[in-house]
Amino acid sequence: MNVRILLPLLLPCAASAQGFAGLGTASEGFATPERPAIFDFETDHGPHPDYRIEWWYLTANLQDGDGTHYGLQWTLFRTALAPDEGEGWSSPQIWMGHAAVTTPTHHYVTERLARGGIGQAGVTAQPFEAWIDDWQLAGSDFDTLNMTASGPDFAYDMDLTAQGPLIFHGDAGYSVKSADGQASYYYSQPFYEIDGTLTLPDGEVDVTGNAWLDREWSSQPLSENQTGWDWFSLSLDDGKLMGFRLRQENGSHYTSATWITPDGETTAYPDGAFQADPVSFSDVGGRQIPTQWNVTLDARGVDVDVYALNPKSWMATSVPYWEGPIIVEGSHAGVGYLEMTGYE
Amino acid sequence: MTKVGLQALLSHWLRNPMQLFTLIVGLSLATALWSGVQAVNAEARASYDAAAQTLGEGRFAQITSDDGAIPQADYIRLRRAGWLISPVVEGRLDGVRLIGLDPLTSPSGLATMGADDGNLTIDALAGGVLFATQDTFERLGAYDITRVVTPDAAPGVIITDVGTAQRLLGLENTLSRLLVSPTQPIVQTPLAEVAPHLTLRAPQDGSDVGRLTDSFHLNLTAFGLLAFAVGIFIVHGAIGLAFEQRRPVIRTLRALGFPLRRLIALIAVELLVLSLIAGAIGVGLGYLVAAALLPDVAATISGLYGESVSGTLQLRPEWWLSGLMIAVGGTCMAAAASLFQLARMPLLASARPRAWAMQAGKGRMYQAGLAVGLLVLAGLLGIFGSGLAAGFGMLAALLIGAALALPVVLDRVLAFGASRAKSVTAEWFWADTRQQLPGLSLALMALLLAMAANVGVSTMVSSFRLTFTGFLDQRLASEFYVYADDADQAAELQTYLTPRVGKVLPIQSANQDVRGLPSEIYGPTAHSTYRENWLFLQSADDAWARIEAGEGAAINEQLARRAEIAIGDDITLAGEAFPVLGIYGDYGNPIGQIIVTETTFKRLFPDIRPNRFGLRMDAADVPVLTEALRKDFSLADAQMVNQAGIKAFSLSVFDRTFTVTGALNVLTLAVAGFAILMSLLTLATMRLPQLAPVWAQGLTRARLGRIEIIRAVLLALLTAGLALPLGLALAWTLLAVVNVEAFGWRLPMFLFPLDYARLAVFAVGAAVLAALWPARKLARTRPSDLLKVFSNER
């Protein structure tokens, strides 16, 4: 019953006019992000229970000794049923963990759910620890982390070291999501070097690569007429690019992007500068999913084709979506991650 | 032409409304019996399923602790060690079972919190919402918590969030048990490293409550099958007779050139419509039967197994469909044979009197062979078979074999009677009865089965009751029982009671798996009460003395049978081995039980302290002590039990168990009686050509009528005579084969001749009642009708 009971609970109207996963639902009683965004670290690495939703979202592009590409995801979502924190079972905070490992041929996924207030899941800012069950993302500070997760058919244990500063999207971390002004607080650490071991059904694989951690919280990040998004994080030869395209009911899009130089300087681009268009679709369990895209950011001379390492990177979780590693070719070369929601 | 043919066929019913009535009533009764039993079965099963879902019992492995309480911190530690488990808090609130679950972690397939429509909100988790049926809520006192009526909830159970349950039950930070998800991650710290004091139990099978309730349902199913057999006999008889009665119509239609195929099609459609009508009536009657029986079934199940069954009936498609199927299917089976005959019979031969009845007699040799084969099979299954399936297979082979053998045996008995006849009338009587046998045999088979079931079940019930009464005397030997709130109060109570009563016998128990079976270990104080009242089924020499000296243990029969433990074998309790010195009967208990002395118990389980006491005292002083305890310790009535009360309650539970089967017996008997009536009525008209010559030779109509009644009595008595051994064989199978397989204990069989005699009287009474009307009709047959026999064929 988990899923059926949870969906309406977490996501009051997953399939209706209130945007993907209910993220367009009005959020009475909850705090809303305001400009200017002022952050307080380390505290802001921890949870913000007065906001309705929040996530610690890590993706990594990895390679083993043979040069085989892998993708890895570790995500902890927080959803509040009410804008406060309580002790014990009466806490209105709900936690959801998603973990995945993608290989060129397989996509391993698992999900965990937990109540707040009892110690089964949570986040502390100092020392930093985010956990649900036996999964954790933790370290003495935000720059040096250990990350573990396990599922019925896979597990991983990775170490992360930040090689650059935190970067802030939009207006210094105030990221606008629609023409109506919906917004979230949004910052990232895109400079992690990562190494460790994947445990897969065929055995253990030692891997290294780069990881990108997104931190985002809000109460109603989407407009009611937005049905889903396509989010790209690209690690290119001469910099990193984060761009997303929010799809609206009338067929139009709202886009936003951040260009990140190798030393961490950012440029935010408003609606329309970043373009992403599907090139070809894959049939994933009966759904038509765009797994090859043309992505452009003219201001930086970016005109690339991106395609999925494994087009079957479907997250069959209680809120299903597509999330997987991508390969970048064209004006720039590189790797990255693609997340697509609202295709159910 | 079709219309004319149909008119001709239907006009037969118009001219003989009685025949139509018997056909419809026969079919309806058979359907009612079957669908009634099925309805009770389906309803009870649906309730179990709901209950089983709520509890997660049986399907999931569980983590438990010896003392029944798991600190919540252990749950968190296990989750953080990679264990996918879900907490359960369980307790009673105003006598209603309250279960707290965590909807986020509970394994899929567990009871819903009624949230399929998405109405579960923050209140359900944090503020507290109770989910239960309306009936259950009515039993609950006033609590300031939202109630959501959930018709699909298990009866007698309230589901709520784990946090709410902890608060209501005063069990903060404590869990009752942990359900283990069938899917676990590939990396996980072993339980022994995380929480060595907790035990992982595999999913239950074989010894769980579900299995026990299954056995009760097997009983019901067995009766359902019996009802089916009786029903099929009756349907077969009714349809066969309907054909026989209409042979002249069929002959005339065919002689007039009506095509055979179309005739067969018309009859088939007509029978289909009739069977649908009768089936619908039967299902309606079955509903009434089930509605009347269900409160007893509900009481039986909750009393016996502690599981609740809702006392109300819902219309479930599976049983009314199966009722219609039995009516239509039975009709098709019966009609197929008759239509086949119709298609093959020479055009004019089809009007030969009693052709159908004689036809039935022709296969008698085959029938005898089949009967012997089935009876031999029953014997073989009894000797070599094992398992419930073999037990029920044996029952089926026995019953059908005996039913098939009945006409053959009766024929031989009647032939013997004829050879001893002295007068002409007597000789005619025997010969005529013998000749009638084929037409009556289906009805008599139904009577045989009904009576055998009655003998078998009443023997089982009464044997059970006698054994159980003896067992209660042995078990509830103390005059008064007191239950303390907690260990501290227990200690105070013991001090208080010791000078006031003859002897205080502390009752203390621990739960532990013995050879993989969940068991309770008791450590009673050594006292003559036990020595005098506990009788062993099997024991070593000097068993009580050696058990009292701490040299061994006694176990209940269930444990001995399931774990295959014999006297002298060792069992391990809290890591220490004890030889089994005695095995005692422990009826009605689903799990294993072990008895060691108080001293041994205290050594094995130093942390467990008694919270119940049996008091040996003068029964007359019980009311005074009750009052004193109420005043001095504020004990609630439920905490003080007077032995007579427990006995009465326990007996009433067992009596109710069999109210249902008793009611079904009466119904079966009534249906069998009706079958006899039907057969006799039909035969009466068909037999005029045989009776007319006897009448012409001087036997008065009144005397012919009396002879009819005597014949019915004779046949009923002979059938009863055969039903008795069959019923006893049935009882033996139930007690010694089915009961052992299903419940784990064997019951001694007692005989109750008075009951059997009473049953014989009932059966004869039913036969006389059934014969009365045909006899009266015969006695009033107009002489002109009898004379007509001589003027033309019919």
Residue B203 to residues A118, A321, B62, B65, B200, Cα–Cα distance (Å): 27, 34, 7, 16, 9
Give me the DSSP letters along B288-303.
HHHHHHHHHHHHHHHH
By residue count, chain B amounts to 794
Q: Which of A238-247, B39-48, B652-661, B767-776 has the highest mean pLDDT?
A: A238-247
Q: How confident is the model at residue A330 (pLDDT cuts 50, 70, 90)?
A: very high
Does any domain span residue A212?
Answer: yes
* CA nearest to A114 within chain B: B104
CA distance B129 to chain A (A): 12
CA distance A137 to A124: 11
| Model pLDDT, residue B318 | 67
Higher model confidence: residue A8 or residue A224?
A224
Q: How wide is the angle at C-alpha A131 spanned by C-alphas A130 and A135, nearest 5°?
A: 130
Q: What's the rounded Cα separation, in Å, for the pair B296 and B309? A: 10
A92 CB neighbours in chain B (<8 A) are 122, 125-126
When pLDDT is averaged across residues B58-77 and rounded to a whole number, the result is 83
Which pLDDT band, with edges at 50, 70 and 90, does A2 fall under? Answer: very low
The shortest CB-CB distance from B79 to any of A88, A89, A133 is to A133
Which CATH number fits the domain that encloses residue A113?
Answer: 2.40.370.10
Tell me, what amino acid is at A4? R
The per-residue pLDDT of chain B, averaged, comes to 76
| Residue (of A11, A29, A33) closest to A21 by Cα position | A11
**Can you tell me the distance from the alpha carbon of B191 to that of B616, in angstroms, rounded to the nearest whole number?**
45
On whether the CB atoms of residues B209 and B589 are closer than 8 A, the answer is no
Quick count: other Cβ atoms within 10 Å of Cβ B175? 25
Q: What is the pLDDT of residue A159?
A: 97
- Kindly state whether residue A99 falls inside one of the protein's structural domains: yes
The pLDDT of B508-515, averaged and rounded, is 80
Contacts by A80-83, CB closer than 8 A, 24 or more apart: A80/A30, A80/A49, A80/A50, A80/A51, A80/A52, A80/A53, A81/A9, A81/B121, A81/B122, A81/B125, A81/B126, A82/A29, A82/B122, A82/B126, A83/A29, A83/A30, A83/A31, A83/A49, A83/A50, A83/A51, A83/A52
Of B161, B164, B185, the CB nearest to A151: B185
A134: nearest CB among B72, B81, B108: B81
B478-487, B694-703, B780-789: segment of lowest average pLDDT? B478-487
What is the enclosing helix (H) or strand (E) of A234?
strand A226-236
Mutation for A interface: B186, B189, B193, B194, most A CBs within 10 A: B186
> Rounded distance, CA B68 to CA B752, Å?
46
**Residue pair A188/A286 in contact by the 8 Å Cβ criterion:** no
Q: Would an 8 Å CB–CB cutoff place A199 in contact with chain B?
A: yes
What integer is the mean pLDDT of A34-45? 92
Residue B741: pLDDT over 80: no
Q: What is the pLDDT confidence band of residue A98, given thresholds at 50, 70 and 90?
A: very high
Among the partner residues B72, B115, B127, nearest to A5 by beta-carbon distance? B115
Q: Which residues form the domain of A234? A: 37-340
User: What are the DSSP calls for A279-319, one per residue?
Assistant: EEEEEETTEEEEEEEEEEEGGGTEEEEEEESSTT-EE-SSS
Residue A1 lies in a domain: no
Rounded distance between C-alpha atoms, residue B397 and residue B383, angstroms: 14
Task: Kindly give, in sequence order, each residue whose CB lies less than 8 Å from that of residue A256, ignoring residues fewer than 6 positions away.
Answer: A169, A170, A175, A176, A177, A243, A244, A268, A269, A270, A271, A274
- B4 and B238 Cβ atoms separated by less than 8 Å: no
Q: Are B263 and B250 within 8 A, CB to CB?
A: yes
Q: What is the pLDDT of residue B650?
A: 54
Partners of B348 in the β-ladder: none
A202 to chain B, any CB pair closer than 8 A? The answer is: no
Nearest CA in chain A to B114: A5
At residue B232, the pLDDT reads 67
Tokens of B533: 């009242």
- SS3 of B318-330: the string is HHHHHHHHHHHHH
- Quote the number of domains for chain A: 1
Contact A88 B125 (CB under 8 A): no
Nearest to A264 by CA among A243, A242, A245: A242
As a residue count, chain A comes to 344
Beta carbons within 8 Å of A141's beta carbon, 6+ residues apart:
A42, A127, A128
Q: Which residue bears the tokens 């004990």? A: B635
Select the more confidently predicted residue: B607 or B639. Answer: B607
